C-alpha cells in the first residue's frame, strides 16, 4: 500500500494511492495516518479494504507528510561509504545519530526555506524508515518486525550551522521546512530489499546525486536495532538513513542552494518529491 495525507497544512486527510495512481479518501476508516494506523493491526485493516470502494479524491491536491503524530525524527549521518569518501570523513565505527526538530517535518512538495544568514544550505536524498511498533532494545534479527514502511526524505542541511558553529549537528538540520517527507508511505511488503534501491537528486535539472542504498555502511535492520538501544522508537517515528554522494558540500568547488532553485529527488519504488527554495522571513 501507498498511504498519504492530502489537503492544506494542518487540515490534511488520510488517503491511499490506488493502482491507477489516484488518491482514495480514508477518512471513513481512520482519522489520520498516525502510529495507530500503521501498526500491524492498523495496516491489516487498511489492506483488507477494496480501494475502489473508497471515495475518489479529485483535483490537484497538496500532499502533507505521509505520517503524523510522531515523537522522534531520528537521522543517521555519514552512512554511505561513497558519501563519507567525498567529504573526507572516516568510515564511522558505529552509526552517527542526530535529531531533526519535529518542526522541520513537512510535505514532499512544500517550499524549503533558506535560513537567514545561510550561505551553505545543502540537499540530501535519503531513505526514511517509518516505525510501526514500539522498539526498545530490539535485536537486529527482530528489527524489521518493527518497521511499517518507507518514504523519501530530503535531509536539508545548513553546513555552516552544522559544522562550523560549534556543538552538535542539530542546529544545521532542524530549521523549519528542512524535513520534506513523502510523497507517501510505502508499506514494507512492497519493498522486498531496502538495501537495493536506486536514488537521485537533481538541482535545477542537473543530476547531482545518483546512488543506491547498496552502499549503506549500516543497513536498515542494524539502524533500527541500534537506535532502539538509545532512543525508544514509537509507532510513526521516522529514521532517515543517510545519503549517497553528490551533496553540494562534496562538489569541487562546493555548491550550495539559493532562493529560487528547484530540488527534485526520488527513490526507486517510493516516488518523487520536488521543492522550490525561498528565503526565510
244 and 122 belong to one structural domain: yes
pLDDT number for residue 100: 97
101 and 167 belong to one structural domain: yes
Alpha-carbon gap, residue 21 to 32, rounded angstroms = 20
80 and 219 belong to one structural domain: yes
pLDDT number for residue 85: 81
Domain-embedded: residue 144? yes
Alpha-carbon gap, residue 224 to 207, rounded angstroms = 30
Please state the domain count of the chain. Answer: 2
141 and 111 belong to one structural domain: yes
Tell me, what CATH number does 271's domain have? 3.90.850.10
Domain-embedded: residue 86? yes
pLDDT number for residue 167: 76
168 or 221, which is more confident: 221
Nearest to 25 by CA among 34, 33, 43, 13: 13
pLDDT-based confidence at residue 193 (cuts at 50, 70, 90): very high
* C-alpha distances in Å from residue 186, one per residue of 27, 194, 221: 19, 11, 17
Question: Omega before 253 cis (within 30°)?
Answer: yes
Which triple of cell numbers denotes residue 39?
501498526
pLDDT-based confidence at residue 200 (cuts at 50, 70, 90): very high
Dihedral over Cα of 201, 207, 208, 211: its sign: positive
86 and 22 belong to one structural domain: no
Q: Can you name the residues that pair with 210 across neighbouring β-strands?
A: 200
pLDDT number for residue 86: 81
Q: State the virtual CA torsion across 154, 155, 159, 162 in degrees, nearest 10.
A: 160
Domain-embedded: residue 128? yes
Q: What angle do CA 132, 231, 41 make, to 5 degrees?
A: 15
DSSP string, 236-276: T-EEE----S--GGGSSS-----TT-EEEEEETTTEEEEEE
pLDDT number for residue 38: 98
143 and 265 belong to one structural domain: yes
259 and 204 belong to one structural domain: yes
134 and 220 belong to one structural domain: yes
Alpha-carbon gap, residue 273 to 62, rounded angstroms = 12
Q: State the virtual CA torsion across 110, 116, 119, 120 in degrees, nearest 10.
A: -50
Coil, helix or strand at residue 20: coil
10 and 42 belong to one structural domain: yes
Alpha-carbon gap, residue 236 to 35, rounded angstroms = 4
Give tens-digit pLDDT for 69-127. Answer: 999 999 999 999 888 788 787 889 999 999 999 999 999 999 999 999 999 999 999 99
Please state the rounded mean pLDDT for residues 47-62.
96
Give tens-digit pLDDT for 125-137. Answer: 999 999 999 999 9
Which triple of cell numbers denotes residue 113?
526555506
pLDDT at 260 over 90: yes
User: How far is residue 163 CA from its own chain's centroid?
Assistant: 22
Give tens-digit pLDDT for 3-23. Answer: 999 999 999 999 999 999 999
Where in the sequence is the domain holding 13, given as residue range(s)?
Answer: 2-53
46 and 98 belong to one structural domain: no
Domain-embedded: residue 213? yes
pLDDT number for residue 168: 82
Domain-embedded: residue 98? yes
39 and 145 belong to one structural domain: no
- What rounded mean pLDDT belongs to the chain? 96
Which triple of cell numbers denotes residue 22?
489516484
Alpha-carbon gap, residue 209 to 201, rounded angstroms = 5
4 in Cβ contact with 63 (< 8 Å):
yes
Domain-embedded: residue 174? yes
Domain-embedded: residue 67? no
47 and 89 belong to one structural domain: no
Amino acid at each position: 500500500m501507498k498511504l498519504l495525507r492530502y489537503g492544506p497544512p494542518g487540515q490534511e486527510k488520510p488517503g491511499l494511492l490506488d493502482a491507477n495512481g489516484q488518491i482514495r479518501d480514508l477518512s471513513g476508516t481512520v482519522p489520520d495516518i498516525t502510529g495507530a494506523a500503521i501498526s500491524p493491526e492498523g495496516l491489516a485493516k487498511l489492506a483488507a479494504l477494496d480501494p475502489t470502494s473508497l471515495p475518489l479524491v479529485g483535483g490537484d491536491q497538496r500532499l502533507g507528510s505521509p505520517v503524523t503524530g510522531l515523537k522522534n525524527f531520528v537521522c543517521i549521518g555519514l552512512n554511505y561509504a561513497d558519501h563519507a569518501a567525498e567529504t573526507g570523513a572516516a568510515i564511522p565505527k558505529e552509526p552517527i545519530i542526530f535529531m531533526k526538530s519535529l518542526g522541520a517535518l513537512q510535505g514532499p512538495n512544500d517550499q524549503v526555506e533558506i535560513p537567514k544568514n545561510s550561505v551553505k544550505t545543502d540537499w540530501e536524498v535519503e531513505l526514511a524508515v517509518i516505525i510501526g511498533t514500539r522498539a526498545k532494545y530490539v535485536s537486529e534479527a527482530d528489527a524489521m518486525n518493527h518497521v511499517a514502511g518507507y518514504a523519501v526524505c530530503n535531509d536539508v542541511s545548513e553546513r555552516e550551522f552544522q559544522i562550523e558553529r560549534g556543538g552538535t549537528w542539530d542546529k544545521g538540520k532542524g530549521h523549519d521546512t528542512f524535513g520534506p517527507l513523502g510523497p507517501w508511505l510505502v508499506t514494507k511488503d512492497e519493498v522486498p530489499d531496502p538495501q537495493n534501491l536506486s536514488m537521485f537528486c537533481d538541482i535545477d535539472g542537473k543530476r547531482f546525486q545518483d546512488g543506491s542504498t547498496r552502499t549503506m555502511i549500516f543497513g536498515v535492520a542494524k539502524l533500527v536495532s541500534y537506535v532502539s538501544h538509545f532512543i525508544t522508537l514509537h509507532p510513526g517515528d521516522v529514521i532517515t538513513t543517510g545519503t549517497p554522494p553528490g551533496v553540494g558540500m562534496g562538489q569541487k568547488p562546493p555548491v550550495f542552494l539559493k532562493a529560487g532553485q528547484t530540488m527534485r529527488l526520488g527513490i526507486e519504488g517510493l516516488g518523487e518529491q520536488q521543492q522550490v527554495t525561498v528565503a526565510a522571513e
